[in-house]
Amino acid sequence: MDAPTQQEASGSAIEIGEITRVIAEQTGCGSGRAGCASQANRGDLPVETWEKVKNHPCYSEEAHHHYARMHVAVAPACNIKCNYCNRKYDCANESRPGVVSERLTPEQAAKKVVAVASTIPQMTVLGIAGPGDPLANPEKTFKTFGLVRKAAPDLKLCLSTNGLALPDYVDTITKFNVDHVTITINMIDPAIGAKIYPWIFYQHKRYAGIQAAKILTDRQLQGLEMLTARGVLCKVNSVMIPGINDRHLLEVNKAVKRRGAFLHNIMPLISSPEHGTVFGLNGQRGPTARELKALQDGCEGEMRMMRHCRQCRADAVGLLGEDRRAEFTTEKIMEIDVKYDVESRKGYQAKIEEERAAKTTAERADLTKRADSVGGIKLLVAVATKGAGLINEHFGHAKEFQVYELSNGGAKFVGHRRTDLYCQGGYAEEGSLATIIGAVSDCHAVFIAKIGGRPRAELIKAGVEPVDQYAHEPIDKSTIAWFVAYLDRVSSGTIQHEERGDAAIRPRALNSAA
């Protein structure tokens, strides 16, 4: 890999000069970012864009605390080969793109969507993201959308594609009112593409190497332009592959922004030999949390960045980071008494909106007041949460930790650390507690609803403060309150502020490939 840039070496591109903008983001004043909570706070977003993002858990970081999505696995085939994908490897306990427990017919999928949306009134989005490529399975994909549109007309429809077939289906996508399309774009330089894609299958012919990558990038960018010209909201996914496309993604970011993409989601490569992928087997590592953040920070001025992607399975159900698949197996949905009631769903969601609006107003006053009173220190904290923007998870039960950057701009969500990537069992498993603690070792504190004696002692030993006095309180307010007290302790000389390095380890799967 090339030598790190100054920005990579410092690990973060957000400096104090950006604080005003961060405050604007957090408080909804003027930035127009998707994290706003009420209609009044939509910033400079046009009303129709705001309507599309305000309750979409992937397009709005703030919305993901309140709204759920589901994927239906109706699209098994794919028209290209990515060196990081193997759809044959299936593990029920693993959350990773391309992995599914059962594939569905369009009819089964529609029945499942109705059952889930009737049970989970905050479920607002139905996505098709594989396990292969939805546009390499166009009949199944659009049949599913047609059936869902009829049975559950208030759901937003979402599609995730590699983009090769996209220009051929733009009209169909708009005809079915698919509101959101994600295109995976990992390069705009075919020489880099040839290292990621061994082949593509296009117009009944197989292409390889640079020729394949050239066709792919042309089709992806053409599809993106066509969609944005028709007003479809587009997100671009890019997989960060150190040494292959990491620096190049800055160029990708500019290219997709120019073509009207709304959001850029740079995700870490997941790579482990047992997944049987080319990258897993040849030892290609994924990025560290700090490398990922540095790249996301570097792209942020260009366009909105998604930092809360959970790299979900193709059959995921529930809030992001929550897994409710087991409640909705094909066998179980036959037993669910389905009555799809749009009005009661609307009523439930209106209540969520009221609560969001009230919370934002209170937080805005709080943060603005504090912004003046604290110094230039910036640090990371990890939070155990089950959702709703609260610190409401036990340390030992946390499936992930959300990571916030605290500064005088407020509390900014910058990513998460999934514990399923760090260990397969409880603490009984040799070394897993140490591994989880290593994963948050770049944080100054961990906020939890509750914590046992042993993990508390181990965290303190690792220099990470366990904080449980804000149990069941809102994340933003609590972390800022702790931060103000931390700064007081620094200025009174009770403690000395120390910069932290990268998290001590990479996720287990990535570690083994490193």
Ligand X SMILES: C[S@@+](CC[C@H](N)C(=O)[O-])C[C@H]1O[C@@H](n2cnc3c(N)ncnc32)[C@H](O)[C@@H]1O
Binding site for ligand X (CB under 6 A): 78, 84-85, 97-98, 129-130, 132-133, 160-162, 184, 237, 239, 267, 269-270, 311
3-class DSSP assignment, residue 336: coil
Residues contacting 4, CB < 8 A, separation 6+: none
Rounded to whole angstroms, the Cα distance separating 183 from 165 reads 11
Among 12, 311, 368, 512, binds ligand SF4 (CB under 6 A): 311
Map residues 21-60 to x or -, x wherever contact with ligand SF4 holds by CB under 6 A. -------------------------------------x--
Both tokens of 132, joined, read 């292969």
User: Least distance (Å) from ligand SF4 to the CB of residue 503?
Assistant: 21
C-beta of 108 vs 184, nearer to ligand SF4: 184
Residue type, position 210, single letter: I
User: Least distance (Å) from ligand SF4 to the CB of residue 500?
Assistant: 27
Question: What is the number of other CB atoms lying within 10 angstroms of the CB of residue 167?
Answer: 18
Q: Is 103 one of the binding residues for ligand SF4 (CB under 6 A)?
A: no
Backbone angles phi and psi of 384, in degrees to 5:
-95, 115
Q: Is 132 one of the binding residues for ligand SF4 (CB under 6 A)?
A: yes
Q: Is 126 one of the binding residues for ligand SF4 (CB under 6 A)?
A: no
CA nearest neighbour of 65 among 485, 467, 425, 404:
404
C-beta of 117 vs 449, nearer to ligand SF4: 117
User: Least distance (Å) from ligand SF4 to the CB of residue 136?
Assistant: 8
Residues contacting 476, CB < 8 A, separation 6+: 26, 363, 367, 389, 410, 411
Rounded to whole angstroms, the Cα distance separating 125 from 148 reads 11
**Residue 269: contacted member of ligand X, ligand SF4, none (CB under 5 to 8 Å, by partner type):** ligand X
Rounded to whole angstroms, the Cα distance separating 434 from 431 reads 5
* Matching residue, tokens 């659009």: 142
Among 80, 135, 252, 439, binds ligand SF4 (CB under 6 A): 80
Q: Is 391 one of the binding residues for ligand SF4 (CB under 6 A)?
A: no
C-beta of 116 vs 269, nearer to ligand X: 269
Beta-strand ranges (E) seen in 386-492 are 400-407, 410-418, 445-447, 465-467
Residues contacting 385, CB < 8 A, separation 6+: 391, 392, 393, 402, 475
Cα-Cα-Cα-Cα torsion 366, 371, 374, 378, nearest 10 degrees, comes to: 110
Among 69, 290, 325, 417, binds ligand SF4 (CB under 6 A): 69
Instruction: Considering only the stretches 130-138, 365-373, 417-425, 475-483, report the one whose residues sit in contact with ligand SF4 under the rule CB under 6 A.
Output: 130-138
**Residue 310: contacted member of ligand SF4, ligand X, none (CB under 5 to 8 Å, by partner type):** ligand SF4
C-beta of 187 vs 505, nearer to ligand X: 187
CA distances from 378 to 14, 295, 311, 448 (A): 10, 18, 27, 21
C-beta of 86 vs 441, nearer to ligand X: 86
User: Least distance (Å) from ligand SF4 to the CB of residue 194?
Assistant: 15
Among 28, 32, 98, 318, binds ligand SF4 (CB under 6 A): 98
Rg value, the chain, Cα: 22
- Chain residues binding ligand SF4 by CB under 6 A are 58, 69, 78, 80-82, 85, 98, 127, 130, 132-133, 162, 309-312, 320
